Amino acid sequence: MTTKPENDRVVIFDTTLRDGEQSPGATMTHDEKLEIAEMLDEMGVDIIEAGFPIASEGDFEAVSDIAKQAKNAVICGLARAQFKDIDRCWEAVKHAKRPRIHTFIGTSPLHRAIPNLDMDQMAERIHDTVSHARNLCDNVQWSPMDATRTEHDYLCRVVEIAIKAGATTINIPDTVGYTAPRESADLIRMLIEKVPGADEVVFATHCHNDLGMATANSLAAVEAGARQIECTINGLGERAGNTALEEVVMALKVRHDIMPYSTAIDTTKIMNISRRVAAVSGFPVQFNKAIVGKNAFAHESGIHQDGMLKNSETFEIMRPQDIGLAGTSLPLGKHSGRAALRAKLNDLGFDLADNQLNDVFVRFKALADRKKEVYDDDLVALMADSASEENDRIQVKFLRVICGTEAPQSADLILTIDGTDHQVTAQGDGPVDATFNAVKRLFPHTARLALYQVHAVTEGTDAQATVSVRLEEDGKIVTGQSSDTDTVVASAKAYVSALNNLIVRRAKTKPAEELKSA
């Protein structure tokens, strides 16, 4: 049975791999999910919601494998209020040292209408399904979806039913990002005061950011008695996203004077996992994002710079090192050796074996030959590219484009497909369009280009470009990303990366069960 945390201890429940991945286009590969789960475990996340096992065979396998590899974290799977969902969830998470079943049902008037259940019928289903989950697992979380728009009397009633049926954690979701801080606190406080048995369970808060208040709402709930925060790395999630893990954790750390609560998170690992989630999801972090944005510790104002030089605390409430950023960003160059590269990568949170370092070193030297100076962000982009699958079916071998004011623009491309080289020349409306047309001729497919995005890794005309490509085919959405000093080359590699991910998705995704309410 799960035990309640100490009164000043806040449990961090990360749902990047479940709610975060529901963001359209943020789908990760199996290996990427395992990698992110391992990073979450290492940084001290208490509970990892690894997925929705009944949604697909791929989701089931990912949750099951994450459960097997987890060293410290509780591994949780999501299940609707249906026996088949709960059974499937248990089959996936039972391999974990510390498994949890998270079951939910929508309790607001709008959500009750979907399965066409009246209040009594829904109450009975909650009792039966939570009881069923508890018979399988002694750690059960229950959520009344859209709790913030559920009638208070009915919310109290169903929370009491869930507790009596065996739920050990009661999560109160603001599913549509509707609430505000005072209301969020009042709701938690009311449930703790009114519901019999509330003192025996952990109350959790799950907030969405539709009105930009997810972090504030979560912290307000903690002050009212909630002791579990559900969140995601970078605030990843559907619509405007979820409460950002890095924001609530650093808020509790920096403002411990007014919020005397602690977490188990090693904050020095925040920046590295933020970058990795951004890379595998294809969702870059906005420059002015709190804590992990590129400009979070940048100062351009003359007054600010002068103050920073005299005392960094004048304009910084936390140190870059607190979240895993190096204090300085001294560049490397083509004369830098393996030892310097290893030291720099260690500073950035990458611990490489000798064979991995050798591979990255070759890529680093090739980049240093094209750039005078290689900065931290260049190395992060290089590591993201190095993490790509070495056994991809499709690889870019050669690309030459003709572009300029005189049409038509063309691309001469060689792709290695399943070990065999194929060459074609194609035209298009600009070099990138021509390149993508060439790829499609060599590897015909029906996927639609849903996103093409370019941003510079660093400043200067020799800066690397990081390109993200999102493809959609028959409801499947995949993302590819690559970096290069040549934007067109980066575009070709990102497009091919997305195609490789699509191939994997086709092979691993089996028809999901009908997600209809019983």
Q: Over 60: is that where the pLDDT of 219 sits?
A: yes
The verdict on whether residue 139 carries a ligand-binding annotation is no
Domain 394-508 class in CATH: alpha beta
Q: 481 with 279: CB under 8 angstroms?
A: yes
Q: What is the pLDDT of residue 313?
A: 53
Find the angle CA(376)-CA(380)-CA(384) to the nearest 5 degrees: 165
Q: What is the pLDDT of residue 379?
A: 85
Q: 427 with 487: CB under 8 angstroms?
A: no
Quick one: average pLDDT of 58-81?
97
Confidence of residue 514 (pLDDT cuts 50, 70, 90): very low
Quick one: average pLDDT of 216-231?
98
Residue with tokens 């560049």: 331
Q: What is the pLDDT of residue 438?
A: 97
Confidence of residue 300 (pLDDT cuts 50, 70, 90): very low
pTM given for the model? 0.83
Distance CA 34, CA 336 (A): 33
For 47, phi then psi, to 5°, come to: -135, 130
Q: 100 with 140: CB under 8 angstroms?
A: yes
Q: Which of 298, 273, 299, 295 is nearest to 286 (CA)?
A: 295
Q: Which of 27, 8, 75 is nearest to 471 (CA)?
A: 27
Q: Which of 88-92, 165-169, 329-333, 409-413 has the lowest mean pLDDT?
A: 329-333
Residue 203 belongs to what H/E stretch? Answer: strand 202-207
Q: Which of 9-23, 200-214, 460-474 has the lowest mean pLDDT?
A: 460-474
Instruction: Tell me the angle at which helices 119-136 and 152-165 cross, rounded to the nearest 10 degrees.
Output: 30
Strand arrangement of the beta sheet that strand 420-428 belongs to: 394-402, 409-417, 420-428
Residue type, 302: G
Spans of all domains in the chain:
11-281, 326-386, 394-508
Distances (CA, A) of 324 to 119, 330, 347, 419: 49, 16, 8, 40
Residue with tokens 């009105």: 211
Higher pLDDT pick, 405 / 326: 405
Q: Over 80: is that where the pLDDT of 310 sits?
A: no
In order, the DSSP letters of 232-288 are BGGG--STT-B-BHHHHHHHHHHTTTTS--B----GGGHHHHHHHHHHHHT-PPPTT
Q: Over 70: is that where the pLDDT of 518 sits?
A: no
Quick one: average pLDDT of 94-106?
98
Q: Which of 159-173, 430-444, 475-489 has the lowest mean pLDDT?
A: 475-489
Higher pLDDT pick, 16 / 347: 16
Higher pLDDT pick, 276 / 5: 276
Distance CA 506, CA 504 (A): 5
Kindly report the average pLDDT of the chain as a whole number: 89
Q: Over 90: is that where the pLDDT of 506 sits?
A: no
The verdict on whether residue 206 carries a ligand-binding annotation is yes
Q: Over 50: is that where the pLDDT of 196 sits?
A: yes
Structure tokens at 59: 């989701």
Q: Over 80: is that where the pLDDT of 243 sits?
A: yes
Q: Over 60: is that where the pLDDT of 34 sits?
A: yes
Structure tokens at 431: 């070099």
Confidence of residue 151 (pLDDT cuts 50, 70, 90): very high
448-505, pLDDT tens digit by residue?
Answer: 999 898 988 887 888 898 898 989 998 778 888 899 999 999 999 999 999 998 888 7
Structure tokens at 412: 């001469």
DSSP three-state, residue 100: strand
Q: Which of 111, 386, 154, 148 is nearest to 276 (CA)?
A: 386
Question: Residue 390: CB partners within 8 Å, gap ≥ 6?
Answer: none
Quick one: average pLDDT of 221-241?
97
Q: 426 with 413: CB under 8 angstroms?
A: yes
The verdict on whether residue 242 carries a ligand-binding annotation is yes
Does domain 11-281 fall under CATH 3.20.20.70? My reply is yes
Q: 263 with 269: CB under 8 angstroms?
A: no
Q: What percent of the chain has pLDDT over 90?
A: 64
Q: What is the CA radius of gyration of the chain?
A: 25
The verdict on whether residue 208 carries a ligand-binding annotation is yes
Q: Over 50: is that where the pLDDT of 308 sits?
A: no
Higher pLDDT pick, 101 / 298: 101
